[in-house]
Every structure is written in C-alpha cells, then in structure tokens.
Structure 1
C-alpha cells in the first residue's frame, strides 16, 4: 500500500510549516488572479465556463475520492466520515450554486463558506502532512469553497444584503441543531458541537464547552457584518459620494 494513502501515516501535520504556508500563498495568489481578471472572465462565456467547471472539479473530485478512500481503507465510520462539518455543508452549497445559479444560496456560500473555510485553512484540523492524500484533499476543497464565493461575487456579480446575514445565521443554527441530533445518535462530534478538536484551533481561546459554541455565534455574526461592511456597504457609500468611475452593472444580483 502506498504510504501516501496510508490511514496510519507515521508523520503528523504541522501548522504553519513550509507546506502549510504554500497552501495559504496559493489561495491568495488564485484569489488575486480572479480579482484582476474578473472583467475578462465575466465578458467571455467560454472563460466563465472554464472557471465554473474548474471549481466544480476541485470541489467534487477530491470529495468523491475521500469517500472512496474511506471505504477502500476500511475506515468508513458514521461517527467520523459523514459530510456534516460546516465546510462539508458549504462545499455542497458551492456545488449547487455553480450548477443552478440559485441566488438564495449565495449568502450562505459567501458568509459561511468564506468564514468557515478560511478558519479551516488557517487552523487546520488535519492529521496528515504533505504529501499525504488527505493533505491535498483538505486544502484543495477549502480553497475551492473560497474561490467559488469570490467567483460568484466578482465574476457573476452576486451581492448580499443586510438581511443575508440573518439568513446565514438561521442556516447555521438550524444546521447545528440537526447535526447535534446526529451527534447524539451516532456518538460523533461534527461541527465540534460536543467537544473541541484534538488539534490546536481558535476554539481553544473561546472558553469551555458549551460556552465556546455561543462565543462562536457572536464571532460569526461580527465577522459576517464586517465582511458586508468592508466589501459591500462602505465601497457603495464611497461610489455614491465620488461617482467619477462608472462601474459595470452586476450580472445577477444575489442574496
């Protein structure tokens, strides 16, 4: 058996190692490229199609491969292998919005997708280092979730509204309730609702269980508000006050 697929790989992931920094730099670089070429991609249908299917491939193929790996290694377990983490949910929402252009999904992909995936990339709950299969799966899908939100924003022209923050918070709480019931049923810890992750994470700074769950709620609300203010509300106010540069109309306002 190839050691790169070994579920009992002898080495552990190290946060902010050279390979971890490389993944962060790749995310930043791809995000900058999408921003710089947003108008060119938006104006050419074949480039939009290429970007869309590249993102779908980066979301779907690693996730399908993960579950094939679970089964082939004999380690599939309902307590650890179900796609019920927040980033798993936003991964499926990202796939859905790319396939359907459904505007009601956009706030969830933008706020919960970027917020959850960014935290995962900065403080990975990952037991396998580079070049293990799980290392590539983890960073590819989380980067793709963030890039999907940026694609829908910068290329497709979707935008959230203030009410989108409330809609996202409702989604998070309903999801947590349903996932919590599953945790109780199968003895799992999806979304870290039952206890903190074993690896160091931001949750270590937020108090004991269940206090950190409520603190997470407040942080999420503050983060989503900041994401709306910095990237939408304040730029719109500046444009209204200094209307010198004419911006192209949004292709499909969302949220």
Structure 2
C-alpha cells in the first residue's frame, strides 16, 4: 500500500484514530483487578516504550523527515508530556501526572486527530507520529484507571498558570535563542489544524493561549460534572 499525502478525511486516518481511542480506553480496563505486581510491570513497560520512542524520535526526524538537528530536539509540549507521564509511571510525584493529563490529553489528542505529517497511512512518519502520541494518552489512561489518579479544579488552575506565565516565556527565549519553533509559538504547525482559524503568526498566540485554557478545561469538565452530581 502506497502512502498518499495526508488527508484528515481519509478512511485510513479515521480508522487509525478510532483504533487509538479504542486502545486508550479499553487496554487499561483489561488489567482492572490485576495484582499490584502485574500493574507495576505494565507501568514500567509503558514508560520504557515512551522513553525509548522519545530517544529514537529525534534521529527519525533527522534521517527520515529531514529535520535540522536543532528542530528535532524533544522540546515540544508532547515530548514534555511523554517524560512527565513516564516519570510518574516509574514512581514519580503526582505533579508529573497533572502536567501529562492537561498537556498530554489536549496536545497529543490534537496531534492524533490532526497529525503534523506530510504523508498519511501507512508511511513511517505517520505511523511513528501516531504511535508516539498514542502512548502519551495511554499512559495517562493507565494512571487514571489503574492508579486512581484524577485532576481537581485547583490542579487545572495551577498547571495552566505555570504553563502560561513560566514555561511559555521560557519557550519564547529558547526559540529566539535557537531560531526554532518549539510549541509552535512563533510559526503555526503545518497542515490542517485549529491554528488554521487563527490570525497569522506570530499573532496567532493571542488566540492560541485562550484556546489552550479552554481545551484544557474541557478535559477537566467530566470530573467537574461528576463532582457536582456527587454533591
């Protein structure tokens, strides 16, 4: 099967996206009731897969996608999410779960729905992209289902405050220093995605920040509604 230019409405992409959602939702549920040892092994395997992918991915981008080395470093938000959820699954503090929950579900979720790749299924760049972002949300799902983790409103406010007023300015400094575009704050990502409806770069950031707050709050809404019903 020859890979064609990525089309978000292609049947192959839609089916791949549905498969990813199926794995994220149902794979952790297969381990409900398993022993602590079995769940620990699952956590460690997932962390190993994510870390190994994150180490391999820059080489893949340079050799296969012809990225400049400076643009292939693991500095995008999804890369940070990968490290955060990996650290948490290996026994790290809860704050790493929170960053992965809000950054990972929104960022990796958008990336699964609208991949930043030139070609679609079954190209290597597409499969590598989908695999890496699937692992992020799967790791978060495992933490939620098997480790009983969840966010609270105060967590949403804390994570997004850090993101907006600490990490975002640091990424601006990094991008200007290295002449790169991590977090897509100087230039929009390629392809069809939410930024297509925003002003031209770099002014898209004024729409991107409130959009980020909105979508990260959306992933908290199910818990908000659950807590309201419980009260």
Alignment TM-score, normalising by the size of structure 1 = 0.79
Q: Quick check: 1:126–1:135 contact (8 Å CA) kept in 2?
A: yes
Distance 1:34 1:101, change over 3 A: farther
The yes-or-no answer on 1:151 pairing with 2:142 is yes
Q: Quick check: 1:120–1:142 contact (8 Å CA) kept in 2?
A: yes
The yes-or-no answer on 1:47 pairing with 2:52 is no
Partner residue, 2:133:
142
Q: Quick check: 2:105–2:219 contact (8 Å CA) kept in 1?
A: no
Alignment TM-score, normalising by the size of structure 2 = 0.87
Q: Which moved more, 1:87-96 or 1:29-38?
A: 29-38
The yes-or-no answer on 1:25 pairing with 2:31 is no
Q: Quick check: 2:65–2:125 contact (8 Å CA) kept in 1?
A: no
**Cα RMSD for the two superposed structures:** 2.5
Q: Quick check: 1:117–1:145 contact (8 Å CA) kept in 2?
A: yes
Aligned runs of 1:98-177 on 2, under 5 Å? 98-173=89-164, 174-177=166-169
Match of 1:210 among 184, 202, 206: 202
Between Structure 1 and Structure 2, how many residues are aligned? 229
Q: Deviations over 1:77-118 (max 9, x none)?
A: 244211111111111112111112311122211111101111
Find the structure with the greater CA-based Rg: 1
Q: Quick check: 1:38–1:154 contact (8 Å CA) kept in 2?
A: no
Q: Quick check: 1:63–1:137 contact (8 Å CA) kept in 2?
A: no
Distance 1:199 1:76, change over 3 A: closer
Unaligned runs of 5+ in 2: none
The yes-or-no answer on 1:191 pairing with 2:183 is yes
Q: Deviations over 1:158-213 (max 9, x none)?
A: 12221111221133222222222121122211111111123221101122233421
Deviant stretches of 4+, over 6 Å: none
Q: Quick check: 1:79–1:189 contact (8 Å CA) kept in 2?
A: no
Tell me the distance in 2 between the aligned counterparts of 1:53 and 1:35: 14
Q: Quick check: 1:111–1:224 contact (8 Å CA) kept in 2?
A: yes
Match of 1:221 among 193, 213, 226: 213
Q: Quick check: 2:53–2:132 contact (8 Å CA) kept in 1?
A: yes
Partner residue, 1:94:
85
Q: Deviations over 1:46-101 (max 9, x none)?
A: 33123213322331232222233356669562442111111111111121111123
Distance 1:16 1:53, change over 3 A: farther
